[in-house]
Structure 1
Amino acid sequence: MPSKTTRSTMTIGDFLLRRLREVGTPHLFGVAGDFNLEFLVQMEEDNEFTWVGNCNELNAAYAADGYARISGLSTLVVTNGVGALSAINGVAGAYSEYVPIVTVCGSLPLKALDRNLLMHHTSADTDYDAVLKAYTPFTVAQTRLTPQNAVAEIDRLILTAWQRKRPVYMELPSDIAYLDVEVPAEPLDLVMPPSDTERLSTCTDEIVTRLTRARSPAILVDIAADRYGVADELQELAGKLQVPIAAINTVKGVIDETCPYFLGLYVGAGSAPEVRKAVEDSDCLLAIGVRRVDTTSGGFSDALPTERIDARGDAVDIGPDNYQAVYLKELLRRVADSVSSREQPASPRTYSAVPASEVAVPSGPLEQNAYWDLVQGFVREGDVIIAEDGTSEAGGWGLHLPPGCTFVTQAVWGSIGYTVGSVLGTMLAAPDRRHLLLVGDGSFQLTAQEVSTMLRHDLKPIIFLINNGGYTIERTICGKDGKFNDIANWSYADLPKVLHPGTNARTFVVKTAAELQAALAVPHDGMIFIEAIMDKYDVPPAALASGHKMAEVDYGPRGPQHRPGIQL
């Protein structure tokens, strides 16, 4: 006879905190509001959490996203209506990019629902499900907690977020957090369910057979390779079979770029010739979570083999056959263990880059080429690099990364300003690593106030801000001289002192390569903020090509991009 689960009694709020503690999210991101204050009191009394306290809910969602990319899961706390809807863009981005966030929304008291009371932070009607419905397209599970369902629903949503690698939305009515419920004593285990035995075995055999028989096998990785933590299995498999690996731009750095089998980024027609040939001419392409999005496929210029193997987090397609309940890490572990080495694997490539202090810098105004040469020489093993959508992202994709680096970008959702919040999250998740934020002036203006939160928590990012007078990436798409692509000019390097008086942040305004080189030589004993002044028409080649391709996809053959002088 099975043993009964040991149970005890605790409040709903305390049980939620206990579960969040058990799954390793000791930092809570968000903004206080009257419907979540009782939960935040419980959080402080628990004394095992750090309340980050963001400047607004959107920034909090971005920070939770960055945190989860490093740690595997995060928690966002908002209040009903005004807070939840402010955060929804950041949560939607996490949904698009497969990032698991547990969103806890302090919501209307249940008595308001029972009595049809009109409440503040609502539309002043009785559509109490309005915010929950707004979150439904951007989360994989939603619930409103009640005393009857709280225990089961808390566990279901947290586990679903972790297993599906996407956000969930949980409403905690403000009048139930202190109610006692019976709870299990056992901790919540974050584990994937076991694969179906027959499906796993059959799928493994088919993949092994196809890979070993192929004349030109190759591997192409997308977001799933990172979110499900299968880089080691893929590199082992590549080593055994001498198979080249390419990466979609969503997962730069996930495959060690010193791995002898790593070719580079695959972006359709924008790929290096050897990368394109390996992927498109492969007679057995193992595609890991590949999604065909305009920004990741070179404007749909990709040409993936139709007979590829499409492996996702929980299912695989091989030709006409579909394998359900086959989980990616378990599958790739089985495949790697099942193949035999063809020959002695190649030795890793040695990472080599001219240190920034030794780069030969040109005279004259600072330009993009010299800028990225110096950034390349500054990057070191283990860095976390957060690259903003646009010019900074395009330049970052061109960096050759040493081992152990993490590259964070929002290549699909592309919400500008994302990175300023995200770097706050990555720093809290990995405080012992260097964090390099690559951002442009236009994006920075959307979320700049979160620098104050970094300074308040004594965090030490290295911020590279390109000041080139507006949205240069958009000038490549449409509006080279459009006033809509201009922004106000700020004294960016002065902001740390404004946002946190008395800060020891080291700030610089650099206009030449020599000045940037000198700034990179200072001790990293606090925040380093480098404002790099560059011409608004100077743009990395990758950004130029990407912008022109985006215009063709967006506007079609009669679009304004064909007018003389409308694009960079």
Structure 2
Amino acid sequence: RLRGMSTVVTTFGVGELSAANAIAGSYAEQVPVVHIVGGPSKDAQGTRRALHHSLGDGDFEHFLRVSREITCAQANLMPATARREIDRVLSEVREQKRPGYILLTTDVARFPTEPPADPLPRYTGGTSPRALSLFVEAAAELIGDHQLTVLADLLVHRLQVVKELEALLAADVVPYATLMWGKSLLDESSPHYLGIYAGSASVPAVRTAIEEAPVLVTAGVVFTDMVSGFFSQRIDPARTIDVAQYQTTVAGEVFAPLEMGAALEALATILTRRAITSPPVASPPAEALPPPPPRDQPLTQEMLWDRLCVALTPGNVVLADQGTSFYGMADHRLPQGVTFIGQPLWGSIGYTLPAALGAGVAHPDRRTVLLIGDGAAQLTVQELGNFSREGLSPVIVVVNNDGYTVERAIHGETAPYNDIVNWKWTDIPNALGVADHLAFRVQTYGELDDALTAAAAHRDSMVLVEVVLPRLEIPPLLVELVQPMSPDGSVRR
């Protein structure tokens, strides 16, 4: 997500199946990951014996077949074709922005080979000149003298065309919003930033600006249930230019093959060549943060997210786990230069803790800020010690609301299956070997303020802040999103 491509190496069978959830999540969220699996030798497989880490039936391709469902390209390497097959998988991963799978057996790994002499070839010819010309004509006619509004999302980042989108926004006065999936994709401190669009769960001013725009450009937008208010978006195709990976649709007419970057560049050119400049628009103002509450006031969700936003600084990488952490932060504006990472489509709780480790390794110069619930953290907390091993100093905020609060809101408010064991979170870093750290348990606004102030002052130390919140309180945005899932259509706020 941060560096463009990554690699994970596991053993055969048990290792690769343990990683399958993460690989499937990368497929769903279009994250390019190369999964290299070390397997038993071809000779050993040929005996069809019951080898360790296998299912014991002599079939050693069970897991290769599994990989075909959750990766975009697979290779079972053979000596004669290994180099070509490796390049093929790497190329597909890079171009499709999804995981790939390489099975490397112990004997094939020992064969000598020459390193590639040339860089990986890139796909070419992804845009037809005729499709581009016809698109420009149709788009210019639809835009006319109207002001453009942009709704952008995740694929702009994944396809590495953020600069092209920024050039479009700079070509005129262009109000813009993102979905939660694409949060931090664009500068949220700009006066032209509208906010987060989430269908019926949007702030009314943002919903009006997007749904009633004279001409709307949707760039890299994928409407999923949890970012669209359960598909409650009301986008008029007749007034929309939808820019997708390999095609663009103008008022219902499809132009292809046409790559996203080329379409965005063409739209910017249309605006710069117009004889008019759009007037400034009154974007929905960012809600002013309320004055700090009394220091002895018990914490609420609103207090937590408001104070965290003040604590963020340019360069931070914020990882918010699915649940109150993600949706509590989603509708807060971030400072320019802050990267926001979540997993709203795949939604595997606990993902962000090891992902924060990966973010820190990818950019050790950028401090990571992890926001995670107590139930989610219990699934992956063993990675905490590795932050110390890698010399990283994240700020980790564990939201202790005594169990699965989002699940309580949907179904089973008092059901025992939404209860978890209440850990002593401030003891965990010591237990897992974190050498240099601070740990706080906070229940009032003053305690939270002191803990975050200490975190800012100790940039070279891991800081864990356990935030105790009411077990049944959830952020307003999440109330709107989960209400359709509640059996009686009501969600406790």
Deviations 1:138-164 (Å, cap 9, x if unpaired)? 111111111122111111111211111
Aligned in 2, Cα 1:290/1:431: closer, same or farther, shift over 3 Å?
same
- In the TM superposition, 1:107-146 aligns within 5 A as 107-146=39-78
Mapped partners of 2:229, 2:207: distance in 1? 12
* 1:225 maps to 2:156: yes
Matches within 5 A, 1:417-496: 417-496=350-429
Q: What's the TM-score once normalised by structure 1's chain length?
A: 0.80
Whole-angstrom distance in 1 between the partners of 2:16 and 2:147: 49
Out of 447, 460, 471, the residue aligned to residue 525 of structure 1 is: 460
1-side partners of 2:279 and 2:252: how far apart? 33
Q: How many residues align?
A: 486
Aligned ranges for residues 155-166 of structure 1 at < 5 Å? 155-166=87-98
For residue 201 of structure 1, report the CA deviation from its aligned partner: 2.6
- Paired residue type of 1:504: D
Q: Deviations over 1:458-484 (max 9, x none)?
A: 111101111110011111111111111
Contact (CA 8 Å) 1:473, 1:544: kept in 2 or not?
Answer: no
On the 8 A contact 2:397/2:465 being kept in 1, the answer is yes
Q: C-alpha displacement at 1:416, in angstroms?
A: 0.3
Shift of 1:535: 1.4
1:284 matched to 2:248: no
Secondary structure of the 1:160 match is helix
1:269 Cα deviation from its structure 2 partner: 0.5
1:348, 1:85 → 2: CA distance?
Answer: 52
For residue 234 of structure 1, give the secondary structure of its aligned residue in structure 2.
helix
State whether structure 2 residue 309 is matched by structure 1 residue 376: yes
State the alpha-carbon separation in 1 of the partners of residues 415 and 141 from structure 2.
Answer: 53
Matches of 2:255 and 2:78, distance apart in 1: 37
Decide which moves more: 69-78 or 243-252: 243-252
The Cα shift of 1:129 comes to: 1.9
Shift in alpha-carbon separation, 1:102–1:176, aligned structure 2, 3 A: same
Tell which deviates more after alignment, 432-441 or 220-229.
220-229
- How much does 1:532 deviate? 0.8
Structure 1 CA distance for aligned equivalents of residues 281 and 249 of structure 2: 33
1:148-547 aligned at under 5 Å gives the runs 148-188=80-120, 191-199=122-130, 201-202=132-133, 204-206=135-137, 208-210=139-141, 212-213=143-144, 215=146, 217-307=148-238, 308-319=240-251, 321-340=253-272, 342-343=276-277, 359-500=292-433, 503-522=435-454, 523=457, 524-547=459-482
1:464-515 CA distances to partner (integer Å, 9 max, x unpaired)? 11111001111111111111111000011111111016x1101111111101
Tell me which amino acid in the other structure corresponds to 1:382: G
The alpha-carbon distance between structure 1 residues 178 and 200, as it changes in their structure 2 partners (threshold 3 A), is farther
Shift of 1:230: 2.5
Note if contact 1:467-1:532 (Cα within 8 Å) is conserved in structure 2.
yes
Deviation at 1:325, TM superposition (A): 3.5
SS at match of 1:121: coil
Instruction: Answer yes or no: is the 8 Å Cα contact 1:510–1:516 preserved in 2.
Output: yes
The answer (yes or no) to whether the contact 2:289–2:306 under 8 Å persists in 1 is no
Contact 1:462–1:529 (CA under 8 A) maintained in structure 2: yes
Conservation of the 8 A alpha-carbon contact between 2:443 and 2:468: yes
Determine if the alignment matches structure 1 residue 104 to structure 2 residue 36: yes
8 Å CA contact 2:295, 2:447 repeated in 1: no
Distance in 2 (alpha carbons) for counterparts of 1:247 and 1:170: 35
- AA partner of residue 304 (structure 2): Y
> How far apart in 1 are the matches of 2:368 and 2:88?
34
Contact 1:222 1:289 (C-alpha < 8 Å) held by counterparts: yes
Change (3 A) 1:544 1:508: same
Displacement of 1:214? 6.0
RMSD after superposition: 2.6
Report how far residue 183 of structure 1 moved: 4.5
Cα 1:298–1:355 change in 2 (3 A) is closer
Quick one: which amino acid aligns to residue 54 of structure 2?
A: T
Flag the 1:256–1:159 CA change in 2: closer, same or farther, 3 A. same
Q: Distance in 2 between matches of 1:79 and 1:70?
A: 25
How far apart in 1 are the matches of 2:288 and 2:367? 19
Q: Write the deviation string for residues 290-321 of structure 1: whole angstroms up to 9, x where unpaired.
A: 22221111012111212332222222233554
Q: Which residue of 2 aligns with 1:92?
A: 24
Cα gap change, 1:507/1:328 in structure 2, threshold over 3 Å: closer, same or farther?
same
Partner Cα distance (1:214, 1:417) in 2: 48
Alpha-carbon distance in structure 2 between the residues aligned to 1:344 and 1:281: 17
1:289 partner amino acid:
G
SS of residue matched to 1:412: coil
* In 1, Cα distance between equivalents of 2:286 and 2:128: 45
Q: Structure 1 unaligned segments of length 5 or more: list them.
A: 1-68, 552-558
Tell me, what secondary structure is at the counterpart of 1:267? coil
Tell me, yes or no, if the aligned pair for 2:153 and 2:185 is still in contact at 8 Å: no
Q: 1:21-47: per-residue Cα shift (whole Å, max 9, x none)? A: xxxxxxxxxxxxxxxxxxxxxxxxxxx
The 1:329/1:118 distance shift into structure 2, 3 A limit, reads same
The CA distance in 2 between the partners of 1:130 and 1:87, in whole Å, is 15
Can you list the C-alpha shifts for 1:386-434, whole angstroms capped at 9, x where unaligned? Answer: 0010001111112211111110000111000010011011111111112
Structure 1 residue 361: Cα displacement: 4.0
Work out whether residues 112 and 118 of structure 1, in 8 Å CA contact, stay in contact via their aligned partners in 2.
no
Work out whether residues 474 and 547 of structure 1, in 8 Å CA contact, stay in contact via their aligned partners in 2.
Answer: no
1:253 maps to amino acid: S
CA distance, structure 2, for counterparts of residue 345 and residue 115 of structure 1: 75
User: Is the CA contact 2:316–2:366 (under 8 Å) kept in the aligned structure 1?
Assistant: yes
Q: Percent identity?
A: 34
Q: What SS class does the counterpart of residue 339 from structure 1 fall into?
A: helix
Q: In the aligned structure 2, how far is the partner of 1:71 from the partner of 1:353?
A: 33
Is this contact kept in 1: 2:35–2:102, CA < 8 A? Answer: yes
Deviation at 1:353, TM superposition (A): 10
After superposition, what is the alpha-carbon deviation per residue over 1:46-67, rounded to whole angstroms, capped at 9, x for unaligned? xxxxxxxxxxxxxxxxxxxxxx
Q: Write the distance in 1 (CA, Å) between the matches of 2:363 and 2:279.
A: 32
Residue segments in structure 2 that go unaligned for 5+ positions in a row? none
Q: Taking structure 2 as the reference length, what is the TM-score of the superposition?
A: 0.92
Query: In 2, Cα distance between the equivalents of 1:371 and 1:165?
Result: 35
Q: Hey, what's the Cα distance between the residues in 2 that align with 1:285 and 1:352?
A: 22
Mapped contact 2:369–2:395 kept (Cα < 8 A)? yes
Shift of 1:81: 0.8
Change over 3 Å in CA distance of 1:138–1:495 after alignment to 2: same
| Equivalence for 2:13 | 81
Equivalent-residue separation in structure 2 for 1:152 and 1:108 (angstroms): 21
Summarize deviations over 1:194-245 as a string: whole Å, max 9, x none: 4334245325514641453263532211211111222332232123232321
Aligned partner of 2:483 in structure 1 is: 548
> Taking structure 1 as reference, are residues 203 and 233 closer, same or farther at Cα in structure 2, changes over 3 Å only?
farther
Q: What are the Cα deviations for residues 116-141 of structure 1, in whole angstroms up to 9, with x where unaligned?
A: 34322111123322111112121111
Shift of 1:88: 0.6
Q: CA deviation at 1:538?
A: 2.2
Q: Distance in 2 between matches of 1:221 and 1:509?
A: 38
Q: Is the 8 A contact 1:389 1:416 kept in 2?
A: yes
